[in-house]
Structure 1
Amino acid sequence: MIVLEKEPVFGGTTALSGGVLWIPLSKCGRQQNPADTVERVREYMMSETGNNVDAAAVQCFIENGPAMVEFFERETEMKFVPTLYPDYHPDAPGGVDIGRSILAAPYDIRGLGKDMRRLKPPLETITFMGMMFNSSNADLKHFFRATKSLVSFLYVARRLATHVKELALYRRGINVTSGNALAARLAKSALAIDIPILTSTRVKELLSEDGNVIGVRATAADGDLRITARHGVVLACGGFPHDLKRIAQVYPHVKRGGEHLSPTPVGNTGDGLTMAEKVGGAVKLGFADASAWMPVSKVPFGNGRTGVFPHLLDRYKPGVIGVLRSGRRFTNESNSYHDVGAALMRACEGERETAMWLICDKVALGKYGLGYAKPAPMPVGPLLRKGYLIKGETIGELARNCGIVPDALEMTVHAYNLDAERGEDPSFHRGRTSFNRYLADPDNKPNPCVAPIATGPFYAVKVVMGDLGTFDGLGTSVTGEVLRADGSEIEGLYAVGNDRRSVMGGNYPGAGITHGPNMTFGYVTGNAIATKAMTSKEKV
Structure 2
Amino acid sequence: MSINPLVNHNYDFVVIGSGAAGLTAALVASIEGLKVLVIEKTDVIGGTAARSSGTVWIPNNSLQKTIGLDDSKEKSMTYLDSLVGDKSDRLLRESFVDQGPQMIDYLIKNTNIRFRPYASSPDYRQDHPGAAAGGRPLEPQSFDGRLLGSDFKKIASPLKELMLFGGMMITRGEAAQLIKFDLNSFLIGFKLITRFLLDRMSFYRGTRLVLGNGLVGSLFKELLSRQVSFITCSDTKKIITNQLGNVCGVIVVTNESEINITVSKGILLAGGGFPSNKLKRQQYLPQPSPLHSAAYDGCQGETIDLGLSAGGVLGKPGLDNALWFPSSLIQENDGAVSIYPHIVLDRSKPGLIAVNVKGKRFVNEAVSYHEFVRSMYKNTAENPSIPAVLICGKEFIWKYGFGLIRPRTPSLKKYIQQGYLYEGNSIEDLAIKVGVDSLALNQTISSFNTDVVNGRDNEFLKGENIYDRSNGDPNNHPNPCLGLVSGPPFYAVKVYPTPLGTSLGLVNNEFSQVLDCDGHPISGLYVAGNDMQSVMGGEYPGAGAQIGVAMTFGYLAAKHAAS
SS of the equivalent of 1:382 reads helix
Please identify, of 20-29 and 157-166, the stretch whose mean Cα deviation from structure 2 is larger: 157-166
* Distance of 2:61 and 2:134 partners within structure 1: 12
- Give the counterpart of 1:265 among 296, 315, 325: 296
* Displacement of 1:48: 1.2
Which residue does the alignment assign to 2:223?
A: 190
Which residue does the alignment assign to 1:144?
A: 179
Amino acid at match of 2:137: S
User: Is the Cα contact below 8 Å between 2:330 and 2:418 reproduced in 1?
Assistant: no
The answer for unaligned runs of 5 or more in structure 2 is: 1-35
User: Is the Cα contact below 8 Å between 2:350 and 2:476 reproduced in 1?
Assistant: yes
1:88-237 paired onto structure 2 within 5 Å: 88-136=124-172, 138-146=173-181, 149-210=182-243, 211-221=245-255, 223-237=257-271
Amino acid at match of 1:420: V
CA 1:222/1:244 → structure 2, altered by over 3 Å: closer, same or farther? Answer: closer
1:242-321 paired onto structure 2 within 5 Å: 242-254=276-288, 258-312=289-343, 313-321=345-353
- Give the counterpart of 1:488 among 488, 496, 520: 520
* Distance of 1:400 and 1:33 partners within structure 2: 53
TM-score norm. by structure 1 comes to 0.94
CA deviations 1:20-62 (Å, max 9, x no partner) are 0111121221233543221111100111111214221122111
* Distance of 1:354 and 1:209 partners within structure 2: 49
* Distance of 2:396 and 2:512 partners within structure 1: 47
SS of the equivalent of 1:102 reads strand
TM-score norm. by structure 2 comes to 0.90
Which residue does the alignment assign to 2:43?
A: 8
CA 1:442/1:353 → structure 2, altered by over 3 Å: closer, same or farther? Answer: closer
1:406-425 paired onto structure 2 within 5 Å: 406-425=438-457
User: Is the Cα contact below 8 Å between 1:18 and 1:134 reproduced in 2?
Assistant: no
Amino acid at match of 1:165: L
User: Is the Cα contact below 8 Å between 2:358 and 2:384 reproduced in 1?
Assistant: no
* Displacement of 1:350: 6.0
1:444-483 paired onto structure 2 within 5 Å: 444-483=476-515
Amino acid at match of 2:341: P
CA deviations 1:46-85 (Å, max 9, x no partner) are 1111121422112211111111111111212311012120
Which residue does the alignment assign to 1:345?
A: 377
* Displacement of 1:288: 1.1
User: Is the Cα contact below 8 Å between 2:163 and 2:170 reproduced in 1?
Assistant: no
* Displacement of 1:352: 7.8
CA deviations 1:507-536 (Å, max 9, x no partner) are 0011110111111111111110000xxxxx
* Distance of 1:459 and 1:350 partners within structure 2: 26
User: Is the Cα contact below 8 Å between 1:77 and 1:188 reproduced in 2?
Assistant: no
The answer for unaligned runs of 5 or more in structure 1 is: 532-540
* Distance of 2:383 and 2:440 partners within structure 1: 18
* Distance of 2:290 and 2:264 partners within structure 1: 44
CA 1:90/1:390 → structure 2, altered by over 3 Å: closer, same or farther? Answer: same
* Distance of 1:386 and 1:243 partners within structure 2: 27
CA deviations 1:262-305 (Å, max 9, x no partner) are 11111110011111111211011411131111101112232222
CA 1:306/1:335 → structure 2, altered by over 3 Å: closer, same or farther? Answer: same
Amino acid at match of 1:477: N
* Displacement of 1:154: 2.3
CA deviations 1:159-183 (Å, max 9, x no partner) are 2222122123212110010000011
The percentage of counterpart residues that share the same residue type is 33
RMSD: 1.6
CA 1:455/1:352 → structure 2, altered by over 3 Å: closer, same or farther? Answer: closer
SS of the equivalent of 2:264 reads coil
Amino acid at match of 1:443: N
